[in-house]
Structure 1
Amino acid sequence: MSSLLPASIVGSLPKPSWLAEPEKLWSPWKLDGDALVEGKQDALRAAVQEQQHRGIDVVSDGEQTRQHFVTTFIEHLSGVDFEQRETVRIRDRYDASVPSVVGAVSRERPVFVDDAAFLRSQTDRPIKWALPGPMTMVDTLYDRHYRSREKLAWEFAAILNAEARELEAAGVDVIQFDEPAFNVFHDEVRDWGVAALERAAEGLRAETVVHICYGYGIKANNDWKATLGAEWRQYEQSFPLLQGSSIDTVSLESHHSHVPVELVELLRGKKVMLGAIDVASHEVETPEEVADTLRAALRHVDAELLVPSTNCGMAPLPRSVALGKLAALSAGAALLREELAAPPR
């Protein structure tokens, strides 16, 4: 485990082809019943082994036990009807058929705690677990009950906090909240988004992370990125607010994006998880490319606070590509680590 520049992925890894259809989001399971439970554990075990083998320092589950980073959590809550579906605009980008909130939302039992305990049993390295953030959960539903995005977000924040505390008790070292919606709804981020996120993370001793990206490498996201111009400055809205928040670490997209690296300066004093792997390309980065991306950020974040990472999840990628990118991430971090440890000439 490297204490300087510890490599960590954002979230998902591709699932094995015997568990779900490869290179596809929302892919249905190929197993059911006890075979599915066992298959998910086998896939999680493999994801841990692949990360360790390729030098990843903070190990995650690769989201092997869930179909989707938001809806799998919501599926376990009461007050949400998956039969009553409506078409809504997701993150102001694309239309999707989503479930409806039909009553007060609540969590009857832990959602991911058993899976996290299993992850904990598979490795001695620090482990990370990702949860959807309150605003991104709200943006993935049709609300018939609260009729207020803010009210629903605060309900979800309390539910997430209960889940996060139990994940921490199960041995999770790092709890990440995924908030891609923070790159779209800037007024809401300012008015209640960051506060709801802090509520979700309240009282945790585990390291807390917020991940804000420009989305998976799927067509709807890539088409949206093409409209954003030569410089992507969306982070300029959220970073100053997060710099003053109780969240420990901010995770952002960097490599092959049009995000000016100097925006990282707005987070000065926070830990920064920097995306040095492009998840929208099948081309595997070289260690030198990864090191270059990380090195450019060092003008704006102290090396002790920099965590090399991926831009987003890698679920839609071919498995061989994703594993190659894992190796490139850790090798690039190692290159820069050696450089920083070398005596000045």
Structure 2
Amino acid sequence: MNTSLPKKPLPSKTLVSKTLLPTSTAGSLPKPSWLAEPETLWSPWKLQGEELTSGQQDALRITLQEQQNAGIDIVSDGEQTRQHFVTTFIENLSGVDFENKKTVRIRDRYDASVPGVVGPISRRKSVFVEDAKFLRQQTDQPIKWALPGPMTMADTLYDDYYQDREKLAWEFAKALNEEAKELEAAGVDIIQFDEPAFNVFLDEVNDWGIAALERAIEGLTCETAVHICYGYGIKANTDWKKTLGAEWRHYEQTFPAIQKSNIDIISLECHNGRVPFEVLEMIRGKKVMVGAIDVATDTIETPEEVATTLREALKYVDADKLYPCTNCGMAPLSREVARGKLRALSAGAELVREELVRTKKEQEDHAA
């Protein structure tokens, strides 16, 4: 495979904002059944060796085509080359033991068998850079690449070495920064850090979580994003949501500090949830990826339902800073459902886009 870098200028922080309401996905998309067990997290690969590499590249081509067919503006790899949004990155770090896993409580709500930190953390080699180069060769569209955030990484394993979540997160942030710089050089336009832990450990977010995240983006010139959701549409997450009451106000406790951070874009869960839209006023001025697709249900939204969510968000987010998106990744869904949801996202964004353009023209005509 030719992995030489295409002749493409370095990403610009204004590149993806040329389209009004540019659509994207939060991260994962379903894998083909011939590659891995469908609708399953941490699903083992069905191929090995060179066949696996070839199969992952084929899956990446397919998921790119499906995004393009649906009209998605900012495309991604759909996480076709990784089993899990956190552990695949961790696998490529030194100091982590995958042989002797332990069961730990993740996000304070479900148990999982995870690897452990047994020595100093360091990045042995690039993890996703070759995949990013491959995706860059397939399209001229803006590309978004997701990486796990430092706090969420620290919450997805057990630590027998540092025995200090903050110190461990800072070590992860250094490794993430090395990877992010190489992804930027490979032509990635937006690098997103997934931090579902930001909706759980609220005090730690303000104490050191945001600072660790800023260490991860240090020196980048491409756009950066942080994705803060309420998790995949799996039972442990949906059960947890039922305990959160009539309004989910977690964002209120962390938005003031996030607003002051160097992160360019904030990706949030908004559709079919109980997050009061008015909390978005706290981050006005930031670009916001507004989750307008519910990933916890097989019901495919109508374009009008998507548009309703976006219209509500536009009361608190400037139109040139609103990026329609999905609430979270869609790996646990069927490919058919995911395709339908992508089409709905694109069509709903187009409805609102047309309304904004029409309103602007009417205002200009009136002014004239």
TM-score interval for Structure 1 and Structure 2 normalised by the shorter chain: over 0.9
Cα deviations by residue, 1:283-338 (Å, 9 ceiling, x for unpaired):
10011100100000111010000000000000000100000000000100000000
2:75, 2:254 → 1: CA distance? 27
**One-letter code aligned to 2:212:** A
1:165 aligned residue: 181
Runs of 4+ in 1 over 3 A off after TM superposition: none
* Counterpart mapping for 1:236-315 below 5 A: 236-315=252-331
**One-letter code aligned to 1:184:** V
1:344 aligned residue: 362
Q: Note the C-alpha offset of 1:344.
A: 3.3
Match of 1:190 among 196, 206, 222: 206
Q: Note the C-alpha offset of 1:50.
A: 0.6
Superposition TM-score, scaled by structure 1 size: 0.99
Q: Match of 2:362, SS?
A: coil
Cα deviations by residue, 1:85-139 (Å, 9 ceiling, x for unpaired):
2211101011111111000011111000000000100111000100000000000
Q: Match of 1:109, SS?
A: coil
Q: Match of 1:332, SS?
A: helix
* Counterpart mapping for 1:27-106 below 5 A: 27-106=43-122
1:19, 1:295 → 2: CA distance? 38
1:47, 1:304 → 2: CA distance? 27
1:140 aligned residue: 156
> What is the aligned length?
345
Match of 2:32 among 3, 13, 16: 16
Superposition TM-score, scaled by structure 2 size: 0.93
Give me the CA root mean square deviation: 0.9
Q: Match of 2:227, SS?
A: strand
Identity, % of aligned positions:
73
Specify every segment of 5 or more residues in structure 1 that has no aligned partner in the other structure, as ranges: none
1:233 aligned residue: 249
1:152 has 2:149 as partner: no
2:210, 2:290 → 1: CA distance? 20
2:129 aligned residue: 113
1:226, 1:321 → 2: CA distance? 24
2:207, 2:310 → 1: CA distance? 32
1:327 has 2:343 as partner: yes
Q: Note the C-alpha offset of 1:238.
A: 1.4
1:304, 1:189 → 2: CA distance? 28
Cα deviations by residue, 1:157-193 (Å, 9 ceiling, x for unpaired):
0100000000000000000000000000011101100
1:94, 1:198 → 2: CA distance? 28
Q: Note the C-alpha offset of 1:152.
A: 0.4
